[in-house]
Amino acid sequence: MERDDEKIDEILTKLEKIKDPVGDIYRYNYQGFWIEAFTLKGLIPFQTQFEARDDDIILASCPKSAKTFEYTHSLSFITTIHQGLSLNPLDVFVSHWHFAHRFSGEDDIEPCHLEECFDMFCKGIHAFGPFWDHILGFWKASLEMPRKILFLKYEELMKNDIFFIKKIAHFLGFHFSKEEEHCGVPQQIEQLCSFENLKNINVNKTGKHSLEMSNSSFFRKGEIGDWVNYLTPQMAEHGKKLIQEKIGESGLMFDFLD
């Protein structure tokens, strides 16, 4: 273990790094993505030792893209199968910005931090960024392997969650019977996995994460379009234009709800 840590420390010294505007955090450019040192210490062993099984179910998303919400939907139904979840990038940024302040222990959110962080986000320098490379990889793979990869958007889930609960169940091979539908099982899952229900579970209100963060830090609003309360029209326009340039004619579209 000590030898592995020394090897990783040696790798870190050779990587490009940038200090995050929020907290005493450095991000390292590893294989085209920006990550923190502690992430790399888990990532390298994963890359070299992990072997996928045919019955694995993997849920992936950019950080702060409502993965906690979607994770519970997938567990309700308990081939390597991937589920990719996305949220429009402006909401992802605002959610991550709030989370970063909680993570660093800074309660007072300064406007200058917002502008600086947004500038870095648009340069692709954020947790596991660039956002567009992360999302496009799963989007394109879902088109090539639709039976193996299900690409979902949080905005669509929130508009018609019962439909997507059934879609996720079908994708995972757990179909609802007529009796289950008649008894309202999809609706029960909807209530069980709702943002408000998850947020108010005692362990999520009082418990702590392994990194000594409060579990409540992972639940803020769960709203779509909250970015309008933080970004100026100029910032939003710049962000939308940039994302459109990056995703090009891939067919992927985001609903910003403005």
Domain of 25, in residue numbers: 1-51
Asked if 62 and 32 sit in the same domain, the reply is no
Q: How far is CA 1 from CA 4, 11, 28, 45, 216, in A?
A: 5, 15, 22, 11, 32
Asked if 21 and 60 sit in the same domain, the reply is no
- Mean per-residue pLDDT over the chain, rounded: 81
Is residue 190 predicted with pLDDT exceeding 50?
yes
Backbone angles phi and psi of 175, in degrees to 5:
-85, 140
CA angle 190, 195, 199 (to 5 degrees): 130
Q: Which residue has the higher pLDDT, 210 or 127?
A: 127
Whether 238 is catalytic is: no
pLDDT band at 1 (very low <50, low <70, confident <90, very high): low
Q: Does residue 6 lie in a domain region?
A: yes
Cis previous bond, 111, omega within 30? no
Asked if 127 and 187 sit in the same domain, the reply is yes
Task: For residues 84 and 153, give the distance between their C-alpha atoms in angstroms, rounded to a whole number.
Answer: 8
Asked if 42 and 83 sit in the same domain, the reply is no
Q: Does residue 189 lie in a domain region?
A: yes
Q: Does residue 154 lie in a domain region?
A: yes
pLDDT band at 207 (very low <50, low <70, confident <90, very high): low
Cα dihedral 64→69→73→74 (10° resolution): 30
Q: Does residue 253 lie in a domain region?
A: no
CATH number of 225's domain: 3.40.50.300
* Residue 60: strand pairing partners: 84
Q: Please tell me the total count of domains within the chain.
A: 2
Q: Does residue 256 lie in a domain region?
A: no
Asked if 58 and 47 sit in the same domain, the reply is no
Asked if 18 and 59 sit in the same domain, the reply is no
pLDDT value, residue 31: 92
Asked if 35 and 114 sit in the same domain, the reply is no
Q: Which two tokens stand for residue 65?
A: 């893209």
Q: How far is CA 43 from CA 14, 37, 95, in A?
A: 17, 10, 24
Is residue 90 predicted with pLDDT exceeding 90?
yes
Reported as a single tens digit per residue, the pLDDT across 16-64 is 999 887 767 889 999 999 988 888 888 888 888 888 888 888 887 776 5
Asked if 158 and 225 sit in the same domain, the reply is yes
Reported as a single tens digit per residue, the pLDDT across 229-252 is 999 999 999 999 999 999 988 999
Lowest mean pLDDT among 111-125, 148-162, 203-217: 203-217
Task: For residues 41 and 142, give the distance between their C-alpha atoms in angstroms, rounded to a whole number.
Answer: 29
Unique residue bearing structure tokens 């920006």: 34
Q: Which two tokens stand for residue 79?
A: 């081939």
Q: Which two tokens stand for residue 34?
A: 């920006």
